[in-house]
Amino acid sequence: MTTDIRQVYRRLYLIRRVEETIVDIYPTDKVKSPVHLSLGQEAVAAGVCSALRPEDVVFGSYRGHASYLAKGGNLNAMMAELFGKATGCTKGRGGSMHLADARAGVMPTSAIVGSTIANAAGYAFGLRRLGTDAVVVSFFGDGATEEGVFSEALNFAALKRLPVLFVCENNSYAIHTHVSRRQSAQRLVERVRTYGIAASRVADADVLRIATEAQECVQALREGRGPRFLECATYRLREHVGPGEDWDLGYRSRDEALPWIQSDQVTRLGEMLEPRERAALEAAVEGEITAAVAFAEESPFPAASDLQNDVFA
Partner 1 sequence: MIEERSLSQIDAIREALSQEMERDDRVLVLGLGVDDPKAILGSTRGLAERFGSERVMDTPLSEDCMTGACIGMAMAGLRPVHIHIRVDFLMLAMNQIVNVAAKSMYMSGGQQPVPLVVRAIIGRSWGQGAQHSQALHSMFMHVPGLKVVAPSTPLDAKAALTYAIRDDNPIIFIEHRMLHGFTGAVPSGEVLRGPGSCRVLRRGGDLTLVGISYMVPECLRAAEWLSTVGIECEVLDPVWLSPLDVEGINASVAKTGRLLVADNAWLECGASAEIVAGACEALGSTRRLAVGRVGFAATPCPTTPALEAVFYASAASIASEAFRLVKGELPERGCDLDMPREVREFRGPF
**294 touches ligand TPP by CB under 6 A:** no
Q: Which residues in the 214-233 window bind ligand TPP by CB under 6 A? A: none
Kindly state the helix (H) or strand (E) to which residue 193 belongs, with its residue range. Answer: helix 188-193
Distance (Å, whole) CA 115 – CA 193 = 21
Q: Which is nearer to partner 1, 207 or 296 (CB)?
A: 296
Neighbours of 244 (CB within 10 A): 12
Per-residue x/- mask for partner 1, residues 29 to 58, rule CB under 8 A? Answer: x--xxx------------------------
**307 touches partner 1 by CB under 8 A:** yes
Stretch that binds ligand TPP, among 109-117, 124-132, 248-256, 275-283 (CB under 6 A): 109-117
**102 touches ligand TPP by CB under 6 A:** no
Stretch that binds partner 1, among 40-48, 83-91, 196-204, 268-276 (CB under 8 A): 83-91
Distance (Å, whole) CA 275 – CA 87 = 36
DSSP assignment of 107-154 equals PPPBSSTTHHHHHHHHHHHHHHHTT----EEEEEETGGGGSHHHHHHH
Distance (Å, whole) CA 93 – CA 296 = 15
Among 63, 65, 128, 191, binds ligand TPP (CB under 6 A): 63
Distance (Å, whole) CA 241 – CA 280 = 33
Stretch that binds partner 1, among 65-73, 185-193, 268-276, 304-312 (CB under 8 A): 304-312
Nearest approach in angstroms of CB 142 to Mg ion is 4
Residue type, 96: S
Among 73, 88, 95, 141, binds ligand TPP (CB under 6 A): 141
Distance (Å, whole) CA 33 – CA 297 = 15
Q: Which residues in the 149-188 window bind ligand TPP by CB under 6 A? A: 171, 173-175
38 contacts 19 by C-beta, under 8 angstroms: yes
Kindly state the helix (H) or strand (E) to which residue 189 belongs, with its residue range. Answer: helix 188-193
Residue 63 contact among ligand TPP, partner 1, Mg ion, none, beta carbon within 5 to 8 Å by kind = ligand TPP
Nearest approach in angstroms of CB 98 to partner 1 is 6
DSSP conformation class of 61: B
| Strand extents, DSSP E, the chain | 57-59, 136-141, 164-170, 173-174, 177-178, 198-202, 228-233
Q: Which is nearer to Mg ion, 77 or 232 (CB)?
A: 232
List of residues contacting ligand TPP (CB under 6 A): 63, 111-113, 141-144, 171, 173-175, 240
List of residues contacting partner 1 (CB under 8 A): 29, 32-34, 84-85, 88, 92-98, 110-114, 143-144, 146-148, 174-177, 181-183, 241-242, 249-251, 301-304, 306-308, 311
